Amino acid sequence: MPFEVQPDYGFGLMGSFYCTSAEELTKVAHFKTDWYSVFPVNFLRRHCIELFLKSGIILFHKKFKIDFENDSCESDPKVKLMNGSWELMRKIHNVGELYNRLNELIQSQSEYLKKNTKTRWEFDPNFQKWIEKINGYDSVSDYFRYPISRDPNKDKKKSIFHENTMEGIQKEMASGKKIMALFVENSDGEITKIYNQGSDTNDELFVALEKASNELNGFHAAVRAELFDNF
């Protein structure tokens, strides 16, 4: 079916494409979570999470005939924000806001879901922590998209290489750690800067993105199967 005639306008299907692409990239032999190839994977997963959340919101509004503020559920999708206001969905990229709204919709229909479906409509107990971790770094979908974002402090944690000292390098080597480093010298051969690989600041974020995207991939499949006859 073309995107425009699907009940969620193709948000979920597009999310599936991003999710699958991320999985395929992690299977290549040279992929490493401690190298820059992790950023395209993180971007794809971050984007598929947003798409799956938006799909879920649209589908719950349509299934249960819930208006978008003063407009029908068939109108341009909107998201009710945590402050009570409504915003057009196309303007919202904050996955924290999107998850909060989706969770509200699920809870509002819990009685129907319990009686009429076989799915247990609960996310992993750690799901909200994953969303908060992701949203803490990338609330407007620019952290993985660009080398610089709106927050320079967070951008410093993004790089695989970080400035170090000779003492720091020696300490890491003494612990048995393999070192990949760049030494910058001046015209007199004196070391002025040292940058070495060894950042694990992205590890938790990588795991949160992986787990949250997989969770929502399953959720999207359940919504399609249980509420929309596998559209």
Do 49 and 12 form a contact (C-beta atoms < 8 A)? no
- With 0.75 as the threshold, say if the pTM is over it: yes
pLDDT at 36: 85
pLDDT at 20: 97
pLDDT at 201: 57
Burial of 42 (0-12, 13-18, 19+ CB in 10 A): buried
pLDDT tens for each residue of 191-215 = 999 998 865 557 889 999 999 999 9
Rg (CA), the chain: 22
CB within 8 Å of 43: residues ≥ 6 apart: 144, 145
Tokens 């395929």 -> residue:
24
What 3-state DSSP class applies to 181? Answer: strand
pLDDT at 198: 66
pLDDT at 10: 97
Rounded to whole angstroms, the Cα distance separating 61 from 8 reads 10
pLDDT at 55: 98
pLDDT tens for each residue of 119-139 = 999 999 999 999 999 999 999
Among candidate residues 46, 26, 52, 37, the one with its CA nearest the CA of residue 143: 46
pLDDT tens for each residue of 65-91 = 999 999 999 999 999 999 999 999 999
- Least-confidence region, from 61-75, 114-128, 157-171, 183-197: 157-171
Rounded to whole angstroms, the Cα distance separating 205 from 201 reads 8
pLDDT at 141: 92
Share of the chain above pLDDT 70, in %: 98
Q: Is pLDDT of 118 > 70?
A: yes
pLDDT at 199: 55
CB within 8 Å of 41: residues ≥ 6 apart: 22, 25, 26, 31, 206, 209
Q: Is pLDDT of 19 > 70?
A: yes
Among candidate residues 39, 8, 53, the one with its CA nearest the CA of residue 155: 39
pLDDT at 200: 59
The mean pLDDT value for 93-110 works out to 98
The mean pLDDT value for 82-102 works out to 98
